[in-house]
Amino acid sequence: MTTHWLDKVRWDANGLVPVIAQEVGSNDVLMFAWMNREALRLTVEHKRAVYFSRSRNKLWFKGEESGHVQHLHEIRLDCDEDVVLLKVEQVSGMACHTGRHACFFQKFEGTAGDGEWVTVEPVLQDPTTIYK
């Protein structure tokens, strides 16, 4: 098996690349994560999002615990070749470990002097029922 296409990606000093997951259809940005070479190769091979957890120092198949799998539709590489965009179908409609549709559920409102982050997306499922 040839994996020369992986060499085009500009991996950081830790062998990682940032990844944005975007929902096919709605174009919602669901989440941000990291991949190493193996995670990207497995994502292509399985047509399912596989990420690298920096805190656990291991690969994780999105949805392996929660069931909230991301089926791969398309992969894009940015102009600097150092960010990957996954266009995915989000199973169950939830991508965030907080039980929300997307990880970007906090919106800045106000000014630089008196602004605040406001939660604008509802919890769809209690995370304590997802991760046991």
Ramachandran angles phi, psi of 36, nearest 5°: -105, 180
Q: Which two tokens stand for residue 94?
A: 């939830």
Name residues whose C-beta falls within 8 Å of residue 40's C-beta, 6 or more positions apart in sequence: 6, 9, 17, 50, 84
One-letter amino acid of 39: A
Whether the predicted pLDDT of 3 surpasses 90: no
Predicted pLDDT at 2: 80
d(C-alpha 28, C-alpha 87), whole Å: 10
The whole-chain average pLDDT of the chain stands at 95
- Res 36: pLDDT: 98
60 and 43 Cβ atoms separated by less than 8 Å: no
Give the number of other Cβ atoms within 10 Å of residue 118's Cβ: 11
Average pLDDT (90-109) is 95
Give binding residues for Zn(2+) as ranges: 79, 96, 103
Residue 132 pLDDT: 60
Annotated binding-site members: 78-80, 82, 96, 103
- Write out pLDDT tens, residues 14-45: 999 999 999 999 999 999 999 999 999 999 99
pLDDT at position 131 is 73
How do strand 70-77 and strand 84-90 relate by DSSP bridges? antiparallel
| CATH code for the domain defined by 4-97 | 3.10.20.810
Residue ranges at the known binding site for Mg(2+): 78, 80, 82
Q: Is the pLDDT of residue 100 over 90?
A: yes
What's this model's pTM, rounded to 2 decimal places? Answer: 0.92
Looking at per-residue pLDDT, the higher value among 93 and 119 belongs to: 119
Question: What is the residue extent of each domain of the chain?
Answer: 4-97
Confidence class of residue 130 from pLDDT cuts 50, 70 and 90? confident
Quick: pLDDT tens for 48-88: 999 999 999 999 999 998 899 999 999 999 999 999 999 99
Are the C-beta atoms of residues 81 and 9 closer than 8 Å to each other? yes
Rounded Cα–Cα distance for residues 52 and 40 (Å): 9
